[in-house]
Amino acid sequence: MKAVFDPGRERRSINFIDHIVYSRVQDRKGNPVDLDLSLMVQNGNSEMRLAAGRDDEAPFGKQPLVIWFNGAGWHDVDKNIMNAEMQFLAEAGFAVAFIHYRGTELAGWPAQLIDCKTAVRFLRAHADKYNLDTSRIGVIGRSAGGHLAAWMAMNTEGFDTEEWADQSSHVDAAVDMFGPTDLPLCFAQDQHMIDTIPNYRWKNISEGHAGKLIGGDMETMVERSKAASPDYFINDGMCPIMILHGDLDPLVPLSISEHFYEKLTEAGLEDRTEFYVIKNGGHGSREFFQFSTRRLIVDFFDRKLRKGE
C-alpha cells in the first residue's frame, strides 16, 4: 500500500533538556551537592538543527514558565518521575521545569523552600538562553510538592540566598495538589494513626515524613513545625492559587486543604483562591490526571500567566 497522508503542522515539537545545574549547596554533613533541573519546551526541530544546522519550524516566541515540584514526603526523588503526566502543560504551550530540591535525606527545613526559590531565580537569569517568558511564573506540585507550591505562592521574604541574587523569586500563580500545608495537623494525623493502628509503620511522630522534615527535639517538633507551614504565613502578597484535593485521600486528609481554604478566606483572599474537591480522588490517584482535570489546570495558568487576571 502507498498513500499520501497530510497530518498538518498544528502540533509543535516538544524537546526535553536535562541535567541543568541551577544551584550548588551542601548536605547535612557539609558535603557539596549540585542541584539540577530539566526543561520540557516547545523549541523546534532539535534533530534538524543538530543534523543540518537549521530548523524547519518557525520561531515560537518566549513561552510562559511553569515549575513542577515532586512529592514523595519531601524525600530525595528523581525530579523527572512525573514528566509524562506533566507533558500536557508543554502541549498547551508552557515551558515546564522539573527541579531536584534537597530531600530530607540531604537537609531539613527550610532547605527545600530555599532550593525552590533558587530555581526560580536561576530560570529568570537564564530566560533568554532557554527562550522563557519569566515575567510571570507559575508553580505546581503534588503532596510535599503541593506544600512547596503553596509556600511559593505566599511570596515570603527571607529564604533567598546569594545565588542569582539579582533576580526575583516571586511567582504569579500556584497549583497545590493535596499538599500538607498545615504540619501541626499532619502531626496530629500521624499521632492518631500511631495510637489506633497496631504495628503502624511509625512508632512516633519523629519517624514520619513531617518529623524527618522538621527534625530536632520531638517535644517541640509540633510547635516548631508552624514555621514550615504556609498556613501560618498567609499574607496579601500571595499570588492566585488553585487547590486540588481528593475526598478519599488516605494520607493527607481533605480537612487539611479545607482548613487552608478557610484561613485564606478569613484573610480576605478568597478572590485569589480556587478550591476543587476531586470526587473519588485518592492520594495522587488517576482522577488528578484525567483530561478534564488537566483542562482545569491549563485554564487556570492561561488566565493567570498569559492573560494576567
pLDDT digits (tens, 9 = 90+) for 270-296: 999 999 999 999 999 999 999 999 999
Label residue 307 by pLDDT band (50, 70, 90). confident
The total of other beta-carbon atoms located within 10 Å of residue 125's CB is: 16
**Hey, what's the cell of 160?**
533567598
Of all helices (H) and strands (E), which one includes residue 218? none
d(CA 305, CA 309): 8
**pLDDT of 7 strictly over 60:** yes
The pLDDT of residue 60 is above 80: no
pLDDT-above-70 percentage for the chain: 96
On the question of pLDDT at 49 being above 70, the answer is no
> What's residue 52's pLDDT?
60
- Coil, helix or strand for 51? helix
Domain ranges of the chain: 15-181+234-306, 183-228
Query: Mean per-residue pLDDT for 28-34?
Result: 95
Whole-model pTM: value is 0.95
Whether the pLDDT of residue 224 is over 90: the answer is yes
Angle at 153 between CA 123 and CA 67, to 5 degrees: 35
User: Poorest-confidence range of 51-55, 89-93, 102-106, 114-118?
Assistant: 51-55
Instruction: Report the pLDDT value the prediction gives residue 40, as an integer from 0 to 100.
Output: 96
Name the average pLDDT for the chain: 94
Beta strand 132-142 pairing with 63-69? parallel
Which residues contact residue 169 at a Cβ distance below 8 angstroms, ignoring those fewer than 6 apart?
117, 118, 120, 121, 152, 159, 160
pLDDT of residue 81: 96
- How do residues 178-203 score in pLDDT, each as one tens digit? 999 999 999 999 999 999 999 999 99
If one compares 21 and 54, the residue with the highest pLDDT of the two is 21
pLDDT at 48 over 60: no
Q: Is the pLDDT of residue 61 over 90?
A: no
240: preceding bond cis by omega (within 30 degrees):
no
CATH fold of the domain at 15-181+234-306: Rossmann fold (3.40.50)
How far apart CA 53 and CA 100 sit, in angstroms, is: 32
Which pLDDT score, from 0 to 100, does residue 10 have? 84
- Rounded distance between C-alpha atoms, residue 116 and residue 101, angstroms: 7
Whether residue 44 has pLDDT greater than 90: no
C-alpha cell at 231: 498556613
Task: Please say whether the beta carbons of 177 and 261 come within 8 A.
Answer: no
